Structure 1
Amino acid sequence: MTMPHNNLARAFGAVAEANASLPALIAQDEVLSYADLWRLVRRIAARMQADGVGAQSLVAVNTQDMRASLGTVLATALLGAGFVVAGQLLAHAKVLKPTHFYRTPEMSGSTRVPFRVIDADWLGADDGAEPTFVATDPDANWLYLHTSGTTGTPKYLALSQRVVWKRSLASAADFPFRKTTYAGFFTSTSRPFYARAMAALLQACTLVEGMDLARWQSVGVNFVCGSPTQVLEALGEMVIDPPFDRLEVSGAPLPDGSAALYLRSFRRVLDVYGASETSKSFANEMSLDPDGGVLRTGVSFDSEVEIIDALGRPCPPGVAGTVRVRNAYLARGYVAAPEASAQAFRDGWFHPGDIARWGPRSDLIILGRDDSTLNIGGYKISADLVEFLARSVPGVADAVCFQNPVPGATQPVVCFLVFAPGADRDTATEELLRLAAVKLGHVFARKNLRAIDNIPSHPDGRHDRKACQALVMSYAHSGGEFQ
């Protein structure tokens, strides 16, 4: 299907004109029809155009208002300009140089750059302002997205209007035409929000602003998305009755306990695998067996997802390897990061850096990251796999594995273990040593394993292996025999 006028915003305009009276956005204090939202996009585009925004511009926007978020991102598409979210991430990355800065009144600006305020006059009644339509390049960089990439280092990638159009078409099944009312826990300037919002609007569906569950019920929300942490914070142990139709969780694997709980509040629960670089690639649909255990069934989309060994050969079910993904709308690489781009995008595939295996129901089981591989004298050990195995042992609440930083240490690998209260530590340790030998082929000694009360972590919850190494060095310098 060809994108009308080679412009994503004008493609939305065609949908809006054909579905003018349908609700496009149920905002906090008003309902915008498709006709209303299309007028808002054109009004913002006209004002941006008067500010000099055009095909060579990069517009940075800081807002929490969904109307402003949707209006500005589509306005830049209409004008052929680039779009990026303004904020500290943009300032710290220093790889993009916006030409125009905008914000809504609730957001702070900066003393270093001039922000134009998008106030009620921009978002209010129609003033008849119309932009001058110009030919735009559908393959030019348009939507700049922040991502950690495969290395954990913050980066930006750029998507063209054509790529976003293709991703939206690929997601059409998630948004049955005119039949989906979508709400989510993602912020209105996040990559997951934009991915779903574009697909929803091109399918004449309705977006709902805010996180009021009672309001969601009253307006007929039937599709909800969020990360595992966001859903947990919003729902806790709550059971919603009557249940919503569908929950889609992405960003990290969904624990079985959470899946079992959410299946009481949603008729369908999907654990989605994807990335900014690839969009949605795969999903595990969650269900319960007759005994209440969680089952995961793999659901394939139009992406190719493979698990490969060190020689690039597909791994059979049950065998761990690294993931690679290929589809028709991959990103082209990272902005101003050629080495990272070459590492992640190889031979037509995106390599996200995940270790996984195929489960018994063609489900995708993520085990960890391949950037956690420890090279010990030429013998490679996956720290994430060791941690995954350790957490499967009864009595082990958490674990972190890392290279011993002590020079000349007789035990080159250390694994910190957090034991559950009342656990039989000796029994748990022996079971871990046995499993490591059988499952991973690693022969550990007891000296490799050390009990700890709390594992040092990054602010986002990831284990901080460098901080763990610093603890080992501190112990060694104080005269301990941590070797």
Structure 2
Amino acid sequence: MATPTGTGTAPAPATLDDVLGSACRARAGAVAVRCGDDVLTYGDLHDRVRATAHHWASCGLTPHGTVGLLWENTSACVVAFLAAARLGACLIPLEPGTPRPRLAALRTEVAGPLFVAAHEARLRALDGDGEQDPFDACVPLPVDAADDAPAPRGRPEHGRQPGGGEPPAGASPDAPFLVQYTSGSTGEPKAAVHTQRNLVNGGDIYTRVYGITEDDRILTAVPLLHSFGMVAGLVTALRAGAQLVLLGRFTPARLLGALAEHACTVLVAAPMAYDLTTRTAAGSRCPSPPGALRLCLSSGAALPPAVAHRARARLGLDVQQVYGCTEAGVIAAQHPGDGAGADRGVGRPVPGVRVRIVDDRGQEVPEGEEGALLVRTPAMFTHYLGHPEATRRALHGGWYATGDVARLGPRGHLHLVGRKDSFINVGGKKVNPLEVEQVLLAHPSVAEAVVWGEETGETGQRVRATVVARAPLPATELTSHCRARLLPHQVPTAVDFVPVLPKNSMGKIRRAAVRGQAPRQAPDRTAGPARPGTPPG
């Protein structure tokens, strides 16, 4: 079997440009990125990255500058990401629809020149108010990766490279490179800073755990701007010399079509994508599993058992859950060799990752007992940008405090219990919201549920639930369902029915937004059917 590119006796790559160079030397004519009709070989990708880096350097972008990339799942955005890495500039991955006020806020958060790179249509959408750009230059991306580099907008005069020669690669493997905002699912997003070595190490982990090689075709159906898509999809494909297959914008039909047309061997997707896709497959005339597919990975949120069951039936494989976070990358992962069953938890800690389960005093607890999860990983962030106090709270002697409560099983599998800061204090008794959510989701009319603690104005909290229902559902029926299955202090004292829950582009519920949008008046007593969810971009 082929081995991942760059392994063996040669020194392991330390920067993303090293990874690309290694893959290009080994497989220049092989397909690197495929997005619809836009196909780049490793030789093409290598040349386009250098041409783009040269163009940006001539416009004034230096290792002291920052690129805010309005990142869509296209070949041109892959080129832009790697061009910033080659120059050694910092890169901030941003949602494609990021508005001008958010870009203006970035100007106050970063030092040095700020370039905004995006497809032309996105930049035109920013031009509506006629105000002066809050950044140093706007760089339109080519319509496809074979087009000439377009001229920048803005004020690109400073730092212009003399002459027409290619600027040297300015990347240091351990310098700040990626400024990645956390999901904000449990609170205000923070910007975690990663080095290029962090990302390369993360790609190495995936290639080793799942045996990714140059023979694989990795269909990435999650946004590359998020950690899971970026590392499990893009960086892992580059590290192995494999083919990265992109959908552009996700739809279930596109995913199913790409799996078959390109004989994809690995699928990287979020639970919402598996949910929508397997529902589509169930209604299709040809629901047979894709023949080449050998591995399905899921991350971003817990995979509901019902979705996992449907995926197994329609795709012919068990979906392997990956547990990680923006700050630490991949922490634990399920593996096909482990079999199925709930005792797998979220998988075993991956190679190179160490975990500790500790009590409130920082002492390790015995196997099987619950405690706070600390991790140490070669893919871990260095600090939060502009938040030194949050950095000090998160990092303890090289260990990252995840904020999760967990336990280790007898076979070394990691089991997540909940978020430490999300436990609800009801009269001195602690309520794990995940336990209550599982009971709510067991009701046949409940599609989604979030449980949270509402301050009572006295000394404690009360349990409150926000629910999306599949069919008309009286709150009294749901409360009775909970009373029969929970202790009295765990039963929600208020239920809010909503048509849809706020989510990020990975399909992860934004719990802080749920709490913030809860009505102040008495909650609804009866729900109507839910609206369809929004698929990830």
Task: Pick the TM interval, shorter chain.
Answer: 0.7 to 0.9
**Contact 1:82–1:144 (Cα < 8 Å) also in 2:** yes
Q: Tell me the CA shift for residue 250 of structure 1.
A: 0.2
Q: 1:204 maps to what in 2?
A: 241
Q: 1:444 maps to what in 2?
A: 489
**Contact 1:246–1:266 (Cα < 8 Å) also in 2:** no
Structure 2 Cα separation of the partners of residues 142 and 414 of structure 1: 42
Q: Tell me the CA shift for residue 213 of structure 1.
A: 1.9
Q: 2:156 maps to what in 1?
A: none
Which of 15, 34, 40 pairs up with 1:32?
40
Q: 1:183 maps to what in 2?
A: 219
Q: 2:294 maps to what in 1?
A: 245
**Contact 1:372–1:383 (Cα < 8 Å) also in 2:** yes
Q: 1:321 to 1:25 in 2, by over 3 A?
A: same
Which of 379, 382, 402 pairs up with 1:329?
379
Q: 1:431 maps to what in 2?
A: 484
Structure 2 Cα separation of the partners of residues 225 and 65 of structure 1: 13
Establish whether residue 131 from structure 1 lines up as the match of residue 166 from structure 2: yes
Structure possessing the higher relative contact order (Cα contacts under 8 Å, 6 or more residues apart): 2
Establish whether residue 155 from structure 1 lines up as the match of residue 190 from structure 2: yes
> Which deviations, in whole Å up to 9, do the C-alpha atoms of 1:272-326 show, x marking residues without a partner?
100111111102347999xx97663633312123333323334445543322221
The farther-off stretch of 359-368 and 100-109 is 359-368
Matches within 5 A, 1:11-160: 11-64=19-72, 66-86=74-94, 87-88=98-99, 90-92=103-105, 94-96=108-110, 99-109=114-124, 110-111=126-127, 112-113=132-133, 114-120=137-143, 123-124=146-147, 131-148=166-183, 152-160=187-195
Q: Secondary structure at the match of 1:253?
A: coil
> How many residue pairs were aligned?
458
Structure 1 Cα separation of the partners of residues 117 and 86 of structure 2: 17
**Contact 1:373–1:380 (Cα < 8 Å) also in 2:** no
Which of 400, 416, 420 pairs up with 1:370?
420
> Which deviations, in whole Å up to 9, do the C-alpha atoms of 1:305-353 show, x marking residues without a partner?
3333323334445543322221123101210011221222223221222
Q: Secondary structure at the match of 1:73?
A: helix
**Contact 1:393–1:431 (Cα < 8 Å) also in 2:** no
Q: 1:478 maps to what in 2?
A: none
Instruction: Give the RMSD, CA atoms, in angstroms.
Output: 3.8
Which of 200, 203, 218 pairs up with 2:261?
218
> Which deviations, in whole Å up to 9, do the C-alpha atoms of 1:10-46 show, x marking residues without a partner?
3311320221111111222132111111111111111
Structure 2 Cα separation of the partners of residues 237 and 453 of structure 1: 30
Q: Secondary structure at the match of 2:237?
A: helix
> Which deviations, in whole Å up to 9, do the C-alpha atoms of 1:38-81 show, x marking residues without a partner?
11111111111111222111122224352211111111121121
**Contact 2:184–2:190 (Cα < 8 Å) also in 1:** yes
Q: Secondary structure at the match of 1:107?
A: helix
**Contact 1:150–1:353 (Cα < 8 Å) also in 2:** no
Gapped regions of structure 2 (runs ≥ 5): 1-9, 151-163, 248-253, 504-508, 526-537
Q: Tell me the CA shift for residue 224 of structure 1.
A: 0.5
Which of 337, 342, 349 pairs up with 2:399?
349
Q: 1:339 maps to what in 2?
A: 389
**Contact 2:174–2:195 (Cα < 8 Å) also in 1:** yes
Q: 1:402 maps to what in 2?
A: 453
**Contact 2:63–2:170 (Cα < 8 Å) also in 1:** no
Q: 1:183 to 1:394 in 2, by over 3 A?
A: closer
Q: Secondary structure at the match of 2:40?
A: strand
**Contact 2:425–2:461 (Cα < 8 Å) also in 1:** no
Q: Tell me the CA shift for residue 202 of structure 1.
A: 2.0
TM-score, length basis structure 1: 0.81
Q: Tell me the CA shift for residue 444 of structure 1.
A: 3.1
Q: Tell me the CA shift for residue 8 of structure 1.
A: 2.6
TM-score, length basis structure 2: 0.74
Structure 2 Cα separation of the partners of residues 135 and 171 of structure 1: 27
Q: 1:120 to 1:131 in 2, by over 3 A?
A: farther
Q: 1:207 to 1:276 in 2, by over 3 A?
A: same
Give the residue type in structure 2 aligned to 1:69: C
Give the residue type in structure 2 aligned to 1:332: T
Q: Secondary structure at the match of 1:452?
A: strand
Percent identical across equivalent pairs? 23
Structure 2 Cα separation of the partners of residues 103 and 119 of structure 1: 9
Give the residue type in structure 1 aligned to 2:85: A
The farther-off stretch of 420-429 and 93-102 is 420-429
Structure 1 Cα separation of the partners of residues 177 and 415 of structure 2: 34
Establish whether residue 236 from structure 1 lines up as the match of residue 279 from structure 2: yes
- Larger Cα Rg: Structure 1 or Structure 2? 1
Q: Secondary structure at the match of 2:171?
A: coil
Give the residue type in structure 1 aligned to 2:110: L
Structure 1 Cα separation of the partners of residues 445 and 414 of structure 2: 24
Q: Secondary structure at the match of 1:470?
A: coil
Q: Tell me the CA shift for residue 238 of structure 1.
A: 2.2
Establish whether residue 282 from structure 1 lines up as the match of residue 332 from structure 2: yes
Structure 1 Cα separation of the partners of residues 22 and 205 of structure 2: 19
Q: Secondary structure at the match of 1:74?
A: helix
Give the residue type in structure 2 aligned to 1:74: L
Structure 2 Cα separation of the partners of residues 417 and 65 of structure 1: 32
Q: 1:361 to 1:125 in 2, by over 3 A?
A: same
Q: Tell me the CA shift for residue 466 of structure 1.
A: 5.3
Q: Tell me the CA shift for residue 166 of structure 1.
A: 1.9
Q: 1:395 to 1:9 in 2, by over 3 A?
A: closer
Matches within 5 A, 1:308-327: 308-316=358-366, 318-327=368-377
Q: 1:328 to 1:188 in 2, by over 3 A?
A: closer
Structure 1 Cα separation of the partners of residues 104 and 374 of structure 2: 31
Q: 1:431 to 1:75 in 2, by over 3 A?
A: same
Q: 2:304 maps to what in 1?
A: 255
Structure 2 Cα separation of the partners of residues 95 and 233 of structure 1: 37
Q: 1:184 to 1:385 in 2, by over 3 A?
A: closer
Q: 2:157 maps to what in 1?
A: none
Q: Secondary structure at the match of 1:108?
A: helix
Q: 1:206 to 1:71 in 2, by over 3 A?
A: same
Q: 1:235 to 1:160 in 2, by over 3 A?
A: same
Give the residue type in structure 2 aligned to 1:177: T
Q: 2:344 maps to what in 1?
A: 296
Q: 1:307 maps to what in 2?
A: 357
